[in-house]
Structure 1
Amino acid sequence: MVPSDRTRPASKGDSRLFMAKAEEFLCEAADALTAERWDAAGLAAIHAGISAGDAVLAYHGGIRSAGQDHRSAPELVERTLGPSSHDSVKHLKRLVAKKNTVEYEQRRLSHAEAVDLESHARRFVKWAISRLP
């Protein structure tokens, strides 16, 4: 795939780095849930999803997402991996849709929102791992 203004080149080797980040962020999201730090859990979950998306993009497309708000990431993953990725990409869509809310809105995440984000991240990371060697 040819890099665009919303992507940057990445190698198959980079996919391991991105997946390691995804797994680390996912662990942090779970730890933050246990500690009742809802905003931290939500943001870590979102970053887990973004990193997992970059892992599959790097491996299968030779790119990573570079958009400011990451809203193009789900479309890039689906375009790169094809229609079979559609159901799993829904989890990434849910995650990036909440990114600005978690980071910038003048309110705190609720327990339910944090749990929901961690669940979507866990499902998407699991799917991404299944698409890598």
Structure 2
Amino acid sequence: MATLEHRNHARSFLRKAEEYLASAEANLNAERYTVAAGDAIHAGICAKDAIVTQLTGSTVKGKDHALAAKELRRALGQRPDAAGAEKGLRELVSNKADVEYGVSLMSAVKAEALVRRARSLVEIAVRVVRLNG
């Protein structure tokens, strides 16, 4: 069960997720696709941190982002959006290395898909953190 301190941390993670998402959407509109994709990835990770912290009281911070999707799925349990959230976060983090360290630029189609995934995760985080859903 999350304490008041943990709920405050969850709200901070959510705020970061919303800021990254807003930046991702602005960059997408400005046709800066690689930056939009990077912001979407960070929005998704922060949304995961918000959800998991709110539901469990803590979140794992580590370099293995693949474990983040499993952590998210466990925290969401039997909720109807658990499988979709896990899949979305997996897609986001699987692109992290290419976006941040690769030499290729992101396409509009790929960036749009990543921003959609991030938007979905942030919406779930809003329901869990702000609406206690």
Same fold, TM-score > 0.5, yes or no:
yes
Deviations 1:90-113 (A, max 9, x none): 111111111111011111111111
Give the number of aligned pairs. Answer: 125
Q: CA deviation at 1:87?
A: 2.1
- 8 A Cα contact 2:69 2:86, kept in partner: yes
Number of the residue aligned with 1:113: 110
Of 63, 66, 72 in structure 2, the residue corresponding to residue 71 of structure 1 is 66
For the residue of structure 1 that corresponds to 2:66, the secondary structure is coil
**Kept after mapping to 2: 8 A contact 1:11/1:58:** yes
Q: Which residue identity does 1:12 align to in structure 2?
A: R
3-state SS of 2:59 partner: strand
Q: TM-score, normalised by structure 1?
A: 0.88
Gap regions ≥5 residues in structure 2: none
- Counterpart mapping for 1:91-110 below 5 A: 91-110=88-107
Q: Distance in 2 between matches of 1:74 and 1:12?
A: 21
1:80 Cα deviation after fit: 1.7
Q: CA RMSD in A?
A: 1.5
- The letter for the 1-side match of 2:37 is G
| Aligned-pair CA distance for 1:69 | 3.8
How many angstroms apart in 1 are the aligned matches of 2:127 and 2:21? 16
Residue in 2 aligned with 1:30?
A: 25
Question: For residues 11-38 of structure 1, what are the alpha-carbon distances to aligned partners after superposition, in whole Å with 9 as ceiling and x for unaligned?
Answer: 1210000000000000000000111111
Q: Check whether the contact 2:72–2:85 (CA below 8 A) recurs between aligned residues.
A: no
4+ aligned runs moved over 4 Å, structure 1: none
Query: Which letter maps to 2:107?
Result: S
CA distance in 2 between counterparts of 1:97 and 1:18 reads 21
> CA–CA distance in 2 between the matches of 1:109 and 1:83?
34
